Chains A and B, each alone.
Chain A
Amino acid sequence: MSGAVGEARREVRFPISEAFRFSVESIRKRFTRALITAISIVLGVAFYVGLRTMSDIMIFIYGGSEAARSYQFWMAIISLIVCAVGILNSMLMAVTERTREIGTMKCLGAMDSHILMIFLIESSLIGIIGGVMGAVIGWVTGLLIYVGEHAAILFNPALLGSYALRIGEGVLIAMVLTVGATIYPAYYAASMDPADALRFEL
């Protein structure tokens, strides 16, 4: 059994495989919460990718005048902000409401790095699933809007590249924002003394 604290190097262990299992389990257990979070990611990314796809098609058809460019540019910025605020808001809430749980896990021997690992895996999974779904939905919606008038040119090889780019951007934005908005509050909660985390009220 246990001896003195300082005698030898004592370590707690939490391998990646264990963390992965824990994270997946955690998402499954809070499925409704995860779904709400994922939906906000899907909507945000779909909004962004949809608008960008549409503007790519517009520019392809009508060419880009200066005025049109700046209009498209602002549309892109606004869609990005809407997307980012949606994701940040829901992720920050989802982690902050688990502060006490983080405190409890620290009392049971979790290190800050273990906690970060769990939240990193959880948010990456949610981010990638939400991001891919959102990007595909946004892209398909963008195409559907023009399919009546311009069906012929929608799959023009020159456009395919920009579609791929938009979808890639959408997934990347989802990943970065989801992980970022999770890790920050998780790190904050993990670095609190457990006594403070346990006392935490939303």
Chain B
Amino acid sequence: MRYEYTVETEDLAKYYQMGEVVVKALDGINLRIRRGEYLSIMGPSGSGKTTLFNMIGGLDRPTRGRVYIDEVDISKLDAYELAWLRCRKIGYIFQTFNLIPVLTALENVTLPMIFAGVPREERLRRAIELLTKVGLGDRLHHKPAELSGGQQQRVAIARALANDPVIVLADEPTGNLDLHTGLEIITMLRNLNKEKGVTVFTATHDLKMIDVSDRIVWIRDGKIDRIEKRVDVVVSMEEM
């Protein structure tokens, strides 16, 4: 079955109680992400991008509101279904990479396939294929500490793609990288989106992302400030 909206949020809010004050990290986000869309969330530091990433990815619980993935309210999923969602449907890319330090690049990429029940030989074959595709065919047996930041992020991308997810969530995937490496990562995400129709959602304050995004959602203090289609952005640039 196909759904028009892969991700939908409804009045999504997350409040943190910090002593006396309530921090409204997210405050009533209504967002619909089309299947196959490349959507970027932009906003200043502390505006709630990571919080939104966590909510959409089913990694944290909202204070209020709902998240639907393919029209299913994820708060209604049981432990099996939630694990399945994280394992098969969504690929996560983190700003801090979050690779497992004691495992090699190859083993890190294999890990999600273990939980997906992929046989051992197939796991290795696919992990090698993915790592080769992200340009790390000669770094299979390196541990994260033996790789550069950009290389670690590429391992994380290969890991995110291991189980052929339909959605890739990326939280500042270029945040820790230099300009050139950042562009490479963006191109990689864009190709994935174009060629395989994967829905890509990135939280970022990297303006390079604007060129590849179908839509840009600007958030500020946990609220949607404005949403721009790429055509609008291009037009306004041409006007200048």
Contacts and interface: CB of A to CB of B under 8 A. Distances in A.
Contacts of A30: 102
A107 B76 CA distance: 18
B84 A10 contact: yes
B89 interface: yes
What is the size category of the interface that chain A forms with chain B?
35 or more
Interface in B28-81: 54, 57, 59-61, 69-72, 74, 76-77, 79-81
Nearest to A28: B102
Given A12-B116, A193-B61, A108 B166 contact: no
A18 B112 CA distance: 13
A198 B98 contact: yes
Contact of B115 (A13, A26, A101): A13
B221 interface: no
Contacts of B84: 5, 10-12, 109
B114 interface: yes
Contacts of B74: 5
A114 B87 CA distance: 13
Interface in B111-169: 111-112, 114-117, 159, 163-166
Given A12-B83, A111-B80, A114-B115, 5 more contacts: A1-B166, A4-B72, A7-B1, A109-B115, A193-B61
Interface of A: 1-7, 9-14, 18, 22, 26, 29-30, 100-101, 103-112, 114, 193-196, 198
Interface of B: 1, 3, 54, 57, 59-61, 69-72, 74, 76-77, 79-81, 83-89, 92, 94, 96, 98-103, 111-112, 114-117, 159, 163-166
